Amino acid sequence: MIEPERPLLPPEPPLRGRCAWCGGELYAGNGALLHDGAALHPECALPYLCDRLGAGEIARCCGCRRIVL
Ligand SMILES: [Zn+2]
């Protein structure tokens, strides 16, 4: 009896969507972030949020405060 050929690589997990910043694929079982209904790769969150909120708002959220020098 001849056995069926096995694929060389394991099957990819199911595609769950696209990253709102880079457009890359988001797969089931991988970590992602959600902001206002937009799913993101974790590494895409900073440029996405800077674009959406502005660097000043990001800095404020991180504890920065505005000063006059
Ligand atoms: Zn991305």
Residue 3 lies in a domain: no
Residue 7 lies in a domain: no
Cα of 18 vs centre of ligand 1, distance in Å, is 8
For the stretch 32-47, pLDDT in tens is 999 999 999 999 999 9
Residue 57 lies in a domain: yes
For the stretch 45-62, pLDDT in tens is 999 999 999 999 999 999
Q: Closest Cα to residue 21, out of 45, 37, 57?
A: 45
Full domain range(s) for residue 21: 15-61
Cα of 39 vs centre of ligand 1, distance in Å, is 9
Residue 9 lies in a domain: no
Cα of 26 vs centre of ligand 1, distance in Å, is 8
CA separation for the pair 48, 65 (Å, rounded): 22
Q: Closest Cα to residue 49, out of 20, 16, 17?
A: 20
Residue 32 lies in a domain: yes
- Total domains in the chain come to 1
